[in-house]
């Protein structure tokens, strides 16, 4: 798959070393077969489609051949954390955050336009950075939140006749603690790009709640977009 030259800079260019621990960890490079060293560092998670998400203390392998590979823990949980951060952003949500959320709730632009009574063209404009009104901001957040709740409710109910009371109660607690409608009243009518910093402890805590343990291997060649 050919990449366009206008794409964001190589992942490694945006990293800053933070921890030293027991680093470096060494392993064989999948690209050149040589030895590559891994260190814990802050990692700009541009694979999410967002340039303002920084994962703290992630193991990143850099190879002399140019290959860069990051180990991203519990990626589905990570994506949920990012979505929650965006929904609770205190200023207007930005274009790429809108795109992230729409993809997170697995809606096509056409489908999402239908939900909010808008057009695919408007969605595309917003996602590409056109300024949105406070009104649109709230509409988008409510639509995203509704989609998330619907999907979670579906998952919580699940197939069969099993008693899902505990799952439903846990889910209801989450919705209540999120308290979105109260929060919506406090959003400032300004455009702002805040950095979303996510530390390993947060991911671990959420993973334990959801029982997720998988680790995503990202590399500069195989980096997948959300
Ligand atoms: Zn290599």
SS3 assignment, position 27 = strand
Cβ-based burial of 53 (10 A; exposed 0-12, middle 13-18, buried ≥19): buried
- Ligand 1 centroid from CA 37, angstroms: 10
- pLDDT on residue 9: 33
CB 200 within 8 Å of CB 74: no
Per-residue pLDDT of the chain (226 residues; tens, 9 = 90+): 343 434 333 344 344 444 455 668 888 988 899 988 888 888 899 999 999 999 998 888 888 898 888 888 788 889 999 999 999 999 999 999 999 999 999 999 999 999 999 999 999 999 999 999 999 999 999 999 999 988 888 777 766 656 677 777 877 888 888 899 999 999 999 988 889 999 888 888 887 776 555 566 555 443 333 3
- Ligand 1 centroid from CA 151, angstroms: 41
**How far apart, in whole angstroms, are the C-alpha atoms of residue 212 and residue 76?**
8
CB 54 within 8 Å of CB 42: yes
- Ligand 1 centroid from CA 34, angstroms: 5
- pLDDT on residue 183: 93
Contacts 24+ apart (CB under 8 A), 30-35: 30/67, 30/69, 30/219, 31/63, 31/65, 31/66, 31/67, 31/219, 31/221, 32/63, 32/64, 32/65, 32/67, 34/63, 34/64, 34/65
Quote ipTM for the complex: 0.97
- Ligand 1 centroid from CA 36, angstroms: 6
Half-sphere CA count of 203, side-chain side, radius 13 A: 22
- Ligand 1 centroid from CA 12, angstroms: 14
Half-sphere CA count of 3, side-chain side, radius 13 A: 12
- pLDDT on residue 211: 59
For the four alpha carbons of 74, 98, 70 and 15, in that order, the dihedral sign comes to: negative
Contacts 24+ apart (CB under 8 A), 97-102: 97/50, 98/123, 98/126, 98/127, 98/132, 98/140, 99/49, 99/127, 100/48, 100/49, 100/50, 100/226, 101/140, 101/144, 102/127, 102/144
- pLDDT on residue 75: 86
- Ligand 1 centroid from CA 225, angstroms: 22
- pLDDT on residue 4: 40
Q: What is the pLDDT of residues 10-35, one digit of tens each?
A: 344 344 444 455 668 888 988 899 98
Give the single-character DSSP code of 23. P
Per CATH, the number for 90-193 is 1.10.260.40
- pLDDT on residue 216: 60
- pLDDT on residue 16: 47
- Ligand 1 centroid from CA 63, angstroms: 5
Domains of the chain, by residue range, sit at: 1-89+195-226, 90-193
**How far apart, in whole angstroms, are the C-alpha atoms of residue 121 and residue 109?**
9
**How far apart, in whole angstroms, are the C-alpha atoms of residue 121 and residue 125?**
6
- pLDDT on residue 221: 42
């Amino acid at each position: 798959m050919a990449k366009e030259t206008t794409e964001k800079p190589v992942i490694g260019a945006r990293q800053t070393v933070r921890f030293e621990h027991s680093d470096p960890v060494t392993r064989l490079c999948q690209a050149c077969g040589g030895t590559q060293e891994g260190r814990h560092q802050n990692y700009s998670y541009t694979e999410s489609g967002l340039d303002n998400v920084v994962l703290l203390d992630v193991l990143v392998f850099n190879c002399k051949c140019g290959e860069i590979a990051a180990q991203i823990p519990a990626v589905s949980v990570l994506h949920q954390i990012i979505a929650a951060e965006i929904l609770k952003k205190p200023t207007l949500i930005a274009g790429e955050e809108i795109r992230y959320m729409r993809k997170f709730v697995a809606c096509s632009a056409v489908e999402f336009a239908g939900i909010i009574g808008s057009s695919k063209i408007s969605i595309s404009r917003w996602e590409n950075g056109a300024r949105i009104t406070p009104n649109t901001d709230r509409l988008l957040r409510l639509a995203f939140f509704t989609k998330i709740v619907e999907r979670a409710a579906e998952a919580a109910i699940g197939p069969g006749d099993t008693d899902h009371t505990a799952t439903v109660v846990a889910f209801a607690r989450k919705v209540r603690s999120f308290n979105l409608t109260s929060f919506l009243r406090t959003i400032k009518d300004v455009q702002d790009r805040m950095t979303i910093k996510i530390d390993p402890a947060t991911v671990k805590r959420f993973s334990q709640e959801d029982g997720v343990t998988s680790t995503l291997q990202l590399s500069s060649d195989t980096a997948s977009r959300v």
